[in-house]
Structure 1
Amino acid sequence: MPPDSTTAMRALIARIRHELPLDDPAARVCHGACAGGCAPKLLAFIEQQLDDWEWRLSAGARPGFAELSALARSARRVHAVLVRDGLLSAPTEPLHD
């Protein structure tokens, strides 16, 4: 049986926090070579989304499939830009919805 949506969202948030360099100061510095977007701005954007969802979950919100998919899609796009910019290596296993 699949997990409930709250458990799935918490697992997705944990995986995103683990796989993206949110705590890496080097990723937060503009290197001037943005292949598909500004890495510091994209990391700030996804971190804000994660913080927002953690707050909403703690307040009792129950995400739907659309919210899970949207967060996973955003994380995949940020990851792809970080790979293109050379800040991350290509994933061995992509984030799934």
Structure 2
Amino acid sequence: MPPDSTTAMRVLIARIRRELPLDDPAARVCHGACAGGCAPKLLEFIEQRLDDWEWRLAAGARPGLAELSALARSARRVHAVLVREGLLAAPAEPIHD
């Protein structure tokens, strides 16, 4: 049986925090020309989304499939930019919805 949406969101948040270099100072430095987006700004964006969802979950919010999919999609896009910018290696396993 699949987990409830709250558990699924917590698992997704934990995986994103584990796989993206949110605490790496080198990833927060602007490296000049950004091909697909600014890595520091994208990391800040995704971290704000994660913090927001953690707060909402603590307040009792129950995310739906659309919210789970949207967060996973955002994380995949940020990850792709970080790979293009050379800040991360290509994934062995992509982040799925």
TM interval, shorter chain, is: over 0.9
How far apart are the structure 2 equivalents of 1:34 and 1:93?
A: 25
What is the correspondence of 1:16-95 to structure 2 with a 5 Å cutoff? 16-95=16-95
TM superposition score normalised by structure 2: 0.99
Task: Quote how far apart the aligned CAs of 1:33 are.
Answer: 3.0
Percent of paired sites with the same residue: 90
Residue aligned with 2:94, SS: coil
Aligned positions, number: 97
How far apart are the structure 2 equivalents of 1:33 and 1:24?
A: 20
For structure 1, the residue ranges without an aligned partner over 5 or more in a row are: none
Contact 1:33 1:85 in 2 (8 A): no
Residue aligned with 2:11, SS: helix
Contact 1:72 1:95 in 2 (8 A): yes
User: Structure 1 counterpart of 2:77, which letter?
Assistant: R
TM superposition score normalised by structure 1: 0.99
User: Structure 2 counterpart of 1:24, which letter?
Assistant: D
User: Structure 2 counterpart of 1:38, which letter?
Assistant: C
Task: Quote how far apart the aligned CAs of 1:35 are.
Answer: 1.5
Runs of 4+ in 1 over 4 A off after TM superposition: none
State the Cα RMSD in Å. Answer: 0.4
